[in-house]
Amino acid sequence: MTATEHLGAAVGLGDDQLLAMYRMVALARAIDERMWILNRAGRVPFVISGQGHEGAQVGIVSALRPGLDWMVPYYRSIAAVLTFGMSPREIMLAQYAKASDPSSGGRQMPGHYGGAAYNILSSSSPVATQILHAAGIALAAQIRGTGQVAITFMGEGSSNQGDVHEGLNFAAIHHLPMILVVENNGYAISVPSVKELALPDVAARAAGYGIPGVIVDGADVLGAYRVAREAVERARTGGGPTLIEAKVTRLTPHSSDDQQTKYRTAEELAAERARDPLPRFREQLATAGILTPEIEGRLATEIAGLVDDATSYAESQPDPDPASATWYVYAEDRPATGGGAG
């Protein structure tokens, strides 16, 4: 048995799947980096991104069934929505706020992902509200017997909102097929974890609802996959919700409007680089002989092409028509020609 077989075997994944996951992490990173370049070049006014969070997102979402399951993402969920089926072009259409942006038709700020084609529910800005939407989706799945699992994501700062308490309690009472992923990057904008949370671990709260609370190193893609697979299995078989806390690092400022050097030291920022999931996963797969230099080169080329394509495609697409601004306040507000986006 080779090292290769070992790495995948432990979590039941073949080499192709491992490479697909690596590709996702790398793709998400590449798109994300491009966003910042576009922002600094004055092409897009706002960026909020998931650099440092991609490993956890790809690992976790790989355990779901796209097309069946549901996701309610948050603004750092680029890797999550990509893994669930969204295309780089669709991400960039949101970034440029174009008429054909599937998330919102250019109505929302970038980072507010959604897509009916992927069972990705539209997300808003007020944090933590989405846990209740995920609980409701899971309730409907349970009542309708669809076998679906609903997964939702948020930061550790957001996990302190009242809605999280109400959502976990309800999901636990009814053993709903729901998974809450808290991506703990240690900050809510500038507020460090010690001022947001009484304990370092959000997962410690799960016991209060009688549900599993699992902590995973977010730079450990396969570890994240493993805990998610267990949570999905539990949810799908009536075992109820799981709280997964992924310890991640925020490699960028909070958003393009933030200056993180004001509240994080240079040393801290440098040290945090060591928690980047991308080089870690790359090395893991390389050591296992799965990611050869040749494959890596091929992937890099493919990804660069995808990002270029997504960028130029999105940039070339039309802005929304001002006449469309009154559409879809209510179901009956449609373009005179019928049809429309949804």
Partner 1 sequence: MAIRTFLEAIRDTLGEEMRRDPSIIVLGEDVGVKGGVFLVTDGLHAEFGETRVIDTPLTESMIVGTSIGAAANGLRPVAEIQFADFIFPAFNQIVSEAARMRYRSNNAFGCPITIRAPYGGGVHGALYHSQSVEAFFTHVPGLKVIVPSTPYDAKGLLRSAIRDDDPVLFFEHKKMYRSVRGDVPDGEYTVPIGRAAVTRVGTRVTVVAYGLMAHYALEAAERVAEEGISVEVVDLRTLRPLDRETLLGSVRKTGKCLVVYEDNRFGGYGAEIAAIVAEEAFDYLDGPVMRVAGPDVPGVPYNHVLEDWFMVNPEKIAEGIRTLAAY
Active site residue 250: yes
Q: Which spans of this chain sit near Mg ion (rule: CB under 5 A)?
A: 155-157, 185, 187
Could you say which of 23, 29, 34, 76 contacts ligand TPP (CB under 6 A)? Answer: 76
Residue 94: Cβ within 10 Å count: 27
* Contact indicator for 201, 216 with CB cutoff of 8 Å: no
Q: Does 209 bind a second copy (CB under 8 A)?
A: yes
Q: Which does 288 bind (CB under 5 to 8 A by kind): a second copy, ligand TPP, partner 1, none?
A: none
In 3D, which of 158, 225, 151, 212 has the Cα closest to residue 185?
158
With respect to ligand TPP, which residue has the nearer C-beta, 55 or 157?
Answer: 157
How far is CA 190 from each of CA 141, 197, 200, 249, rounded to the nearest angstrom?
38, 14, 16, 14
| Residue closer to partner 1 (CB basis): 191 or 304 | 191
Q: Which does 133 bind (CB under 5 to 8 A by kind): Mg ion, a second copy, ligand TPP, none?
A: none
Number of residues in contact with a second copy under rule CB under 8 A: 25
Q: Does 161 contact a second copy by CB under 8 A?
A: yes
The reply on whether position 158 binds ligand TPP by CB under 6 A is yes
Tokens of 107: 């109505």
- Write out the two tokens for 146: 């669809």
- Which residue's CB is nearer to a second copy, number 163 or number 220? 163
114 interface partner picked from ligand TPP, partner 1, a second copy, none, CB below 5 to 8 A per type: partner 1
Counted residue by residue, the chain has a size of 342
**Binding partner of residue 212 among Mg ion, partner 1, ligand TPP, none, CB under 5 to 8 Å per kind?**
none
Site residues for ligand TPP, 242-301, by CB under 6 A, read 250, 254
CA angle, corner 233, sides to 231 and 236, nearest 5?
105
Distance of CA 44 to the CA centre of its chain: 21
Q: Which of 29, 53, 205, 275 binds a second copy (CB under 8 A)?
A: 205
Q: How many CA atoms lie within 13 A of 16 on its CB side?
A: 0
The CA-based diameter of the chain, rounded to the nearest angstrom, is: 65
Annotated catalytic residue within 205, 234, 254, 275: 254
Residue 112 among the catalytic residues: no
205 is catalytic: no
Name the active-site residue from 107, 165, 236, 263. Answer: 263
Tell which residue, 250, 239, 271, has the closest CA to residue 191: 250
> 303 to each of 155, 279, 308, 340, how far by Cα in Å?
28, 16, 8, 32
- When computed from its CA atoms, the radius of gyration of the chain, rounded to whole angstroms, is 20
Binders of a second copy among 245-274, rule CB under 8 A?
none
Q: Mind telling me the catalytic residues?
A: 250, 254, 263
Residues that bind a second copy (CB under 8 A): 160-166, 168-169, 172-173, 194-199, 204-211
